Amino acid sequence: MSRQRRTVRRHVTEPVIVLGTEIGTGKVYALRHAAFQRGVHILGAIGAGKTSLLLRLLYGIGTRYPWVLHDFIGTGHRRLQAWVAYLATTFALAERWCPDMTGSTARFLSRYAFLTIGDANPAIRIDLLRRRRLPDGTLESVRDVTGRALEIFFAKLNDPDAALRVRFRRIATAVLACMVAAERSITEAYLVLDDPMYVSFLERELAKRRFRRSDHRFLIHQLAELHHVLALRPSDPTKSWRAFEDMTESTRNSFSDCAPGTLMGEILGDETFPLEAVAYGRTSLSVTTRHADETLKSQIFQALHGMLHALFLARPDIAGLPPLTYIVDEPRWVRRNFPGVLAVSRNLGVSYVIAHQARNQFEDLGLRTLPDQLRSLTNLQIAFRPTSFADAEDETLHTHDIRPDGLVLRFMTSSSSDATTDSYAIHSAWNGLIRPFGSDSTWSSGSTYATAEHESVHPVGFQDQVRYLAAAALRRPRFTGSVIADGIGTEVAFAAAPVFPSDIGGVPVLDYFRTWHDRYWWSCLVPRAPYEPHGSIVVDVSPVAPAAQEEAHGVTVAPTAPPAAEQTTASTAAPTLPDATPAPSTQPVAPPSYQAADRRGRRTPRRRQRRRGAAQ
């Protein structure tokens, strides 16, 4: 009876990223995705191969797991667009031959968003003042969103006057809190101080909404602060505006950067891209810049990261979320709380990949100790050719096993001697006087030669060994470096990432993808009620539903419903806000197909039907 041999095949479920080959052995060097999930630190000069390495990482995990790329230069951003366009073309060709795959191309493309800061009329827009939906179904608190937005404006306010900074915080907090609660855009923030009719419109919008008890108390206080500041504005135009202008000058200047048509106003005013899809889904986002103002670019990057990190804190409440990779290429925008963000990110299922050129770059950001902390905050370190001798020494200490007696120099010393002697002597006596030839003489010669060898052993000190290896690292060729995974260092010759073409067979697939990309994300624009200075007030006399219960110090508190609001007019008194849980937001828009209609004002049959129904 013959036995059949069973072959057990083990399938690797997680992706494997091939980085290159080992120097010396020529073996393929690859790491599983788990090695990148506890933080990555990449150090290398310009042109050393950092972007190519990041692209190989995204090519390996980009179709299975979500990712966020902050590319300050833009090279990887453009190559990722070509990669997505190439894959989408493959899906589109498969749809023609397999009807069961209909719609897969649109679903695939809807998972990738690309934002270029500085482009005119960008399709990717993220509302800075929008309260995000948390996993438990509730919205963020007004206080949290207000504080997050306030920190973005503080990135530009660097006045040494402490009184000015305190005044700005008090006024800006009151304005932003009311804007957040009323679900208004940041582009309308300057109207609070300049338009006398806007405050009445803002109060009507607040009266339409319901809030939890904590937000209710917070808004009542901020509305009182806002009316206190607006009371300084004279109703008589002939009176002086000096006191009001001095009080609100810094706030007005900060909000002017977010006016309609400005860079921050276009990107952070409306909402076309939901960040919840990145934090709790499989959607990926790539951000780069073409703008010259470093301060505005830093503010936008900080705003995006602040909103995403606030959503990341709720990731442990959802089971089975895919790991998320957050790539920071050239961290010129990070804030001083970045070390704390890295410390907690591993528990949130978020892996940060930090790529920069030199260790002293963080000193310009006020993070002098961050280069030393990156060794403990990240599990994987990759170093290309260092840019300075100090960086080379730091890399050597972490990549080589250096022992005090690990390097010994042997010296051989030899000595030789050669001597020659000649002597001649004449001996005479008295008998020589009798015998003429009776004298005696002697002659002698001799030579000596000797050689000797001596071996001496000199151990090289620890610091000298570090310098020898650091000097060799400074002469390292391009696309070579060291990889330290779990404390084990390996010299690797990195492989270049493939370049995907923008045209396939004469078809401009990259241009087609960008056109579809802009049309789709513009179709996801979240509508907002326009500003109506002379709107009407609708009094709701229906019973108010009980608000969501809050727990305070272990005691469950159920807020009571306040009485119905009466008809009010524009005045300096703060209105009474309803106290209840906010209503759920609208459902996201389904991804369109390739045959989606152009939304540039053309009337489709559905639009005609809607217009006819509205007219009736």
**Confidence (pLDDT) at 99:** 82
Give the residue from 185, 356, 323 showing the smallest Cα distance to 260.
185
The one-letter amino acid at 239: K
DSSP SS3 for 109:
helix
In the predicted model, is pLDDT for residue 593 greater than 70? no
CA separation for the pair 63, 284 (Å, rounded): 9
Q: Between these two residues, 565 and 509, which has the higher pLDDT value?
A: 509
Within a 10 A sphere around the Cβ of 469, how many other Cβ atoms?
17
Tokens 């001996």 correspond to 427
CA separation for the pair 207, 146 (Å, rounded): 19
Contact 198, 191 (CB under 8 A): yes
Across residues 8-26, what is the average pLDDT? 78
Worst-scoring range by mean pLDDT, 204-208, 210-214, 378-382, 419-423? Answer: 419-423
Angle between helices 389-399 and 462-474 (to 10 degrees): 110
Q: Of the spans 280-284, 421-425, 546-550, which averages the highest pLDDT?
A: 280-284
pLDDT band, residue 491 (cuts 50/70/90): confident
Tokens 């963020």 correspond to 140
**Confidence (pLDDT) at 271:** 95
What are the DSSP E strand ranges found in 80-121? Answer: 112-117
Side-chain-side CA neighbours of 288 within 13 Å: the count stands at 13
User: In the chain, what are the domain boundaries?
Assistant: 66-126+273-322+510-535+587-616, 129-270+538-585, 408-459
Contact 550, 580 (CB under 8 A): no
The one-letter amino acid at 98: C
Which DSSP string corresponds to 211-271?
A: B-HHHHHHHHHHHHHHHHHHTTS-SSTTS--HHHHHHHHHHHHHHGGGSTTSHHHHHHHS-
Tokens 């890295």 correspond to 342
**Lookup: tokens for 438:** 């009776």
pLDDT band, residue 570 (cuts 50/70/90): very low
- Answer yes or no: pTM beyond 0.85: no
End-to-end CA distance of the chain: 85
In the predicted model, is pLDDT for residue 553 greater than 70? no
- For the chain, the residue count is 616
In the predicted model, is pLDDT for residue 58 greater than 60? yes
Give the residue from 417, 336, 348, 345 showing the smallest Cα distance to 378.
345
**Confidence (pLDDT) at 179:** 95
Contact 175, 230 (CB under 8 A): no
How confident is the model over 190-246, as pLDDT tens digits? Answer: 899 888 889 989 998 999 888 999 899 999 999 999 999 998 888 767 777 788 888
How confident is the model over 255-284, as pLDDT tens digits? Answer: 988 999 899 999 999 999 999 999 999 999
**Lookup: tokens for 236:** 């008589």
CA separation for the pair 289, 510 (Å, rounded): 19
Give the residue from 482, 413, 415 showing the smallest Cα distance to 449.
415
Contact 470, 389 (CB under 8 A): yes
CA separation for the pair 480, 20 (Å, rounded): 9
How confident is the model over 301-319, as pLDDT tens digits? Answer: 999 999 999 999 999 989 8
CA separation for the pair 19, 195 (Å, rounded): 58
- What residues pair up with 458 in beta bridges, in sequence order? 409
Contact 145, 180 (CB under 8 A): yes
Across residues 63-77, what is the average pLDDT? 89
Residue 352 makes CB contacts below 8 A (sequence gap 6+) with 39, 40, 326, 327, 328, 341, 342, 345, 378
Average pLDDT in the chain: 80
Give the residue from 140, 149, 148, 141 showing the smallest Cα distance to 214.
141
CA dihedral 144, 145, 151, 157 (to 10 degrees): -130
Q: Of the spans 44-48, 193-197, 208-212, 324-328, which averages the highest pLDDT?
A: 324-328
**Confidence (pLDDT) at 11:** 53
Residue 228 makes CB contacts below 8 A (sequence gap 6+) with none
Worst-scoring range by mean pLDDT, 192-196, 351-355, 412-416? Answer: 412-416
DSSP SS3 for 483:
strand
Q: What are phi and psi of 212, to 5 degrees?
A: -70, 165
